[in-house]
Structures are given as C-alpha cells and as structure tokens.
Amino acid sequence: MPGLGGFIFLCNNEIVEECQEKLVFGMTVGVKEEVLKITPGLPLFLFNISTKEMLGGYVAAGRGGFSLDASAFLSATVARRPKSSASGGRSKVCVASI
C-alpha cells in the first residue's frame, strides 16, 4: 500500500498565526494513525476553516508525532477542552515551509 501523498491540517483564525510562526500544525487524536504516517519531505497544507483558505505548501521537517512543541496552542480555545487521551489530546507535527 502506498504512503501518504500529502496531508491537510485544519486551523482557524484563532491559531493560524501561531501555526505559521512556530511551523507546528496540530490535529485531534482522531487522525492519530494518519499523522504518525507523516515522514520528512511530505507535502503539507493548512486549511483555515474560518476563512475557507488553503495555505501552503509546506513540507514536513520530521516525522509526525505528539506534543512536539509543548507550548503550541496553549491559548487556543481547542486546547482548553478536556483532553481526549493520555497523549495530550492533540497530535502535532513540525513543518518547514518550502
């Protein structure tokens, strides 16, 4: 079975600047298995659900994983929701722009 051809992360107006400044994107653990398939060099995109705008392209700087930046998304409303797992509730991946 072929690997991922790319990955689209979601954000909103509340966290879009943080995603672009820190180059860290986050997703809920519901897509954990897909995030863990991210490998260096994979094309990544960021879709702002507030503005319906696709941002990118970016390229993964490393493998997908959890809590790669412990300071990311601390001020976001989504981060204040109850955690959905022992891993912190959000999977994150570091990215670098192309």
For residue 1, being part of any structural domain is answered with no
* Residue 53, domain extent: 7-97
Q: For residue 31, report the phi and psi dihedrals to the nearest 5 degrees.
A: -115, 25
Residues 69-81 pLDDT 10s: 777 776 655 433 4
13 domain-assigned = yes
Please state the pTM of the whole predicted model: 0.75
Residue 34 domain flag:
yes
Give domain status of residue 73, yes or no. Answer: yes
> Using 50, 70 and 90 to split pLDDT, how confident is the model at 82?
very low
Looking at the DSSP assignment, which residues form a beta bridge with residue 9? 46
Query: Closest Cα partner for 8 from 26, 29, 33?
Result: 26
Within-domain flag for 55: yes
Measured in Å, how far apart are the chain's first and last C-alpha atoms? 27
**Which tops the pLDDT comparison, 50 or 2?**
50
Residue 2 lies inside a defined structural domain of this protein: no
User: What total of structural domains would you count in the chain?
Assistant: 1
Of residues 2, 33, 16, the one with CA closest to residue 72:
16
CATH number, domain with residue 23: 3.10.590.10
Q: Answer whether residue 6 shows pLDDT above 90.
A: yes
